[in-house]
Amino acid sequence: GNSVTQMEGPVTLSEEAFLTINCTYTATGYPSLFWYVQYPGEGLQLLLKATKADDKGSNKGFEATYRKETTSFHLEKGSVQVSDSAVYFCALGTQGGSEKLVFGKGTKLTVNP
Amino acid sequence: EAGVTQFPSHSVIEKGQTVTLRCDPISGHDNLYWYRRVMGKEIKFLLHFVKESKQDESGMPNNRFLAERTGGTYSTLKVQPAELEDSGVYFCASSQVTIYGYTFGSGTRLTVV
């Protein structure tokens, strides 16, 4: 079945450090891939998405590239800020039928000043 | 536009009691989804409504869970009787047409003691 594996946290970085959160997936067909973020006390927000191989999603300085050959969708940011502290979830979307999302376990990021 | 609203934001109940969670989707969104995250695990799909009809309820864990969406507007998720393993955060999401338009609520944190 479909599944998502993302790196375990927590991850603690200093401000302006480089961030990578690894995400790999297993899926039948051609899923869409997403990164969601949950800031403290808030709901899940879509951070970025990619719908086909080699697509790059980007938002707020974050980027992720849909790599079909390695079944990966790693999240990167060149210089993190304290305000990026949150829990990040990688997810894939199955097409047809219910269009439900399959999530990874989440990675908690803490950025210190 | 108003976002997806969930209440209560927190609920603490005793094992064996009944709890009802409510979700108000974005007005006009036909698709409504329920997900939950049990502590430390993945966010998992529970079910999907299209208007008032259940499109997919494959993720509902057992018959102690009952979801309704009368009139195709707000939805309720009732847990009766609650068990300890039901503790977690329950998320609701809505979308207009496709998976790309998912908007999540802030979630209801349920604690069963």
Please provide the size of chain B in residues. Answer: 113
Chain A neighbours among B 51-110 (CB < 8 Å)? 55-56, 58-59, 91, 93, 98-100, 102, 104-107
Tokens of A16: 């302006």
Percent of chain A surpassing pLDDT 90: 77
Nearest Cβ partner for B105 among A32, A43, A51: A43
Which of B4, B45, B106, B103 minimizes the C-alpha distance to A40? B106
Respond yes or no on whether the N-terminal peptide bond of residue B8 is cis (omega within 30° of 0): yes
For residue B25, what are the contacts with CB-CB under 8 A and spacing of at least 6? Answer: B4, B32, B73, B74, B75, B92, B94
pLDDT for B17 beyond 90: yes
Mutate to test the interface with A, among B4, B5, B9, B43 (most CBs of A within 10 A): B43
Cβ–Cβ gap A101/B59 under 8 Å: no
Reply yes or no on whether the pLDDT at A29 is more than 60. yes
pLDDT in tens, B55-92: 999 999 999 999 999 888 999 999 999 999 999 999 99
> What percent of chain B has pLDDT above 90?
80
- pLDDT tens-digit map of A36-49: 999 988 889 999 99
C-beta of residue B95 within 8 angstroms of C-beta of residue B44: no
Residue A100 confidence (pLDDT): 84
Instruction: Return d(Cα B52, Cα B32) in angstroms, integer.
Output: 9
pLDDT reported for residue A97: 55
